[in-house]
Structure 1
Amino acid sequence: MRGIVSDNLKPLLKQVNQGIEQAKASGAAFEPAIIRQNLENLTAYMIPGPEVPLIKNTFIKAGDHSVAVRIYHPNPEKALPVLLHFHGGGHMCGSIELYDPISRELAIAANAIVICIDYRLAPEHPYPCGIDDCQFLLENYQDLLQGYKFNQQLYLAGDSAGGAICTSLVANNINNSKISIDKQILLYPSVDYTMSCPSITENGEGFLLEADKVRWYFQQYFQLDNIELETNEATASLIKNASPLLGAFTHKMPKTLVITAGCDPLRDEGCLYADKAQQAGVSVEHYQFDELIHAYMLLSKLVPEQYHQTYLMIKKFIEAK
């Protein structure tokens, strides 16, 4: 079923849809630099984040390259849990800077030390480079916190492609005795690279993120000429194996909060992930904002009530035993 969007978002969507129509009519192709800048431009629609007592820019040395990270500590006098924050952007866009307000809000809502990472992006660094960076952070984040007070509670949080990273890390480390993830927070997560859920079609046009752009993102990420499953067996296997929704679900997965948007092409895969996890015996909370679109967290000035409600849900989820 196609979503019915909030009146607060209609002026922006009208403007965006006119631009998309003009671009399609002119035959303009997607370009990484333009898509990245367009996402960064959403800062104009974002509520500034709250003050956080301690913020530090640093980096991790992952093999032969360095990866920037930013640490947010809301109470340096206390030993708090750690939350690893993975930003969205189709595995091609997004940055620590763009997501700074969200990292700040997460630090306060979760009462946790947040570490946000500028993982490598496609197409320059295709799959699995970004996940490899995030896996390195997962294994070594405590090295970044020398001199800080923290405890052993560990949370993951991510929206869209960041949700793909969270769920991939959970799946990849489920039997890793050295890694213990206590909770994960997924905001309109991308968990199915096969693009096989009905909402891809039902909400695939007119709601900011469109199905053809999702397909293009995945083509860049996997370095494929065509994302369709019927291309060949190797492509099908790669895409299926990379899709957290199509992997194994087990009761050993962490407690999970999933928040979906009713006007999002990725809506159904987020709902299915929540259902599959719950059926496997995982403690799951799922909430849907029926009137919102993908990436609404980057449009907080337009939907402030739902934006703040999201953090209240995160706070409640973290505080629950």
Structure 2
Amino acid sequence: MTNVHPNLRAWLDQLNPLVADQKARGVEATPRMVRDSLAGITNTFVTQAPDLPRVRDLQVASADGNIPVRLYDPAPGTEKPVMLFFHGGGHMAGSVQVYDPIARKLADASGWLVLSVDYRLAPETPYPGGLNDCLAVTRQVWSLLENESVVFERRLALAGDSGGGTYAATVSRQVAGDPELNLTDQILLYPSLDYTMDHPSINRHGEGYLLEEARIRWYFDHYFAGGEDRRAASPLHMPVPEGMPATLVVTAGFCPLHDEGVAYARKLEKAGVTCRLKDYADMIHAYLNLEDLVPDACGDTYRQVADFLNREA
């Protein structure tokens, strides 16, 4: 039987008593608390990031205001495909700045131009605000790059981790088959794909492995502030349309979202969509944000992403 990676086990053994103490004292989580926690973990454990020749902050106009986007170009002046990246954080935490080193690594490993989207967060902006931001940037991606005189190839991938994976999968479905966008790939890193939380891994790994069942439920309760139909909003339960892009799903063995990632991959395969499933059996959720503890797994993950995106047709 696979065990949690020893470095993660040692870290969890330090973290879990602190979590238990907070629960015993009745400490209530707040949006600021979870935002600071994700930023702190990432800043502590993702300490190496490649220098890129071009990094620029841009904005995309939408009906709800301007959406910040950060561009990462690993080879200015060279034509390359484009990846839109939607960061994780349960729709409540994370930002372009927090995920800056991860976006840099994606651009450096793949050779693709990466645009990281700073969508609005719950609870200030509940469903479907953040999703609408991701869709708005996707629909305007080519005009944005043309206006900035960026050299690019009109080939698009959507990528996201955790809650950002939800957005990537949902937007992929909404724009599937659009010849103008030419969406060819999606990359889902330990994604959240079923808001109903109806999978064994939610219970099996829902306590003691960083992301906990109660916290997931709390995220969703703040996101769906209007009592929306969570099943209908879940990518796993949406019909698979024609033109869905080739997909890489990365799962972590001790992640509560593990089983829904596997189920989504199987659903795409059954529908005839090219899909690759890569499981890191001894990892936990958000391990890319813990890179210094598990550098080999993180390095391999970036290579898997690059190999998938740059595979032979």
**TM class by smaller structure:** over 0.9
- 8 Å contact from structure 2 (residues 206, 256) kept in 1: yes
Identical amino acids, percent of aligned pairs: 40
Could you say which residue in structure 2 is the equivalent of 1:160?
Answer: 162
CA contact (8 A) 2:177 2:242 kept: no
Shift of 1:3: 6.7
- The Cα of 1:30 is off from its aligned counterpart by 1.3
Question: How far 1:10 moved relative to its partner?
Answer: 1.5
TM-score under structure 1 length normalisation? 0.93
Q: How many residues align?
A: 309
Amino acid aligned to 2:35: R
Decide whether the 8 Å contact of 1:251 with 1:281 is kept in 2: no
Q: Aligned partner of 2:301: which letter?
A: T
Deviation, structure 1 residue 177: 5.0
Structure 1 equivalent of residue 53 of structure 2: 53
Correspondence for 1:125: 125
Cross-structure match for 1:171: 173
1:249 counterpart (240, 247, 250): 240
Whole-Å Cα distance in 2 between the matches of residues 175 and 112 of structure 1? 21
- Contact residue 81 and residue 152 of structure 1 kept, 8 A: yes
Deviation at 1:143, TM superposition (A): 2.6
Question: For residue 144 of structure 1, what is the amino acid of its counterpart?
Answer: L
- One of 232, 249, 255 as aligned partner of 1:258: 249
Q: After TM superposition, list the pairs within 5 Å mapping 1:301-320 onto structure 2.
A: 301-320=292-311
Give the 5 Å matches for 1:95-174: 95-146=95-146, 147-174=149-176
> Is 1:183 the equivalent of 2:185?
yes
Whole-Å separation in 2 of the counterparts to 1:66 and 1:210: 33
Change beyond 3 A, Cα 1:159–1:249: same
**3-state DSSP of counterpart to 2:209:** coil
Aligned with residue 196 of structure 1, among 195, 198, 201: 198
The residue identity in structure 2 corresponding to 1:45 is F
1:230-245 mapped onto 2 (5 Å cutoff) = 235=227, 238-245=229-236
Verify the 8 A CA contact 1:250 1:282 in the aligned structure 2: no
Q: Following the alignment from structure 1 to structure 2, what is the Cα–Cα distance between the partners of residues 145 and 107?
A: 16
TM-score (norm: length of structure 2): 0.95
SS state at 1:148 partner: coil
Assess, with a 3 A threshold, how the Cα gap between structure 1 residues 188 and 107 changes in structure 2: closer, same or farther. same
**Alpha-carbon separation, structure 1, partners of 2:304 and 2:177:** 29
Which position in structure 2 is the counterpart of 1:32? 31
Kindly provide the amino acid, as one letter, of the partner of residue 318 in structure 1.
L
AA aligned to 2:61 is: K
Residue identity matched to 1:17: N
How far is the alpha carbon of 1:16 from its aligned partner? 1.6
**Counterparts of 1:128 and 1:30 in 2: how far apart (Å)?**
22
RMSD: 1.4
The structural deviation recorded for 1:181 is: 1.0
> For residues 281 and 49 of structure 1, do their structure 2 counterparts lie closer, same or farther at Cα, with a shift above 3 Å needed?
same
Gaps of at least 5 residues in structure 2 are none
Moved over 3 A (4+): 175-179
* 1:23 and 2:22 aligned: yes
Structure 1: gaps spanning 5 or more residues: 225-234
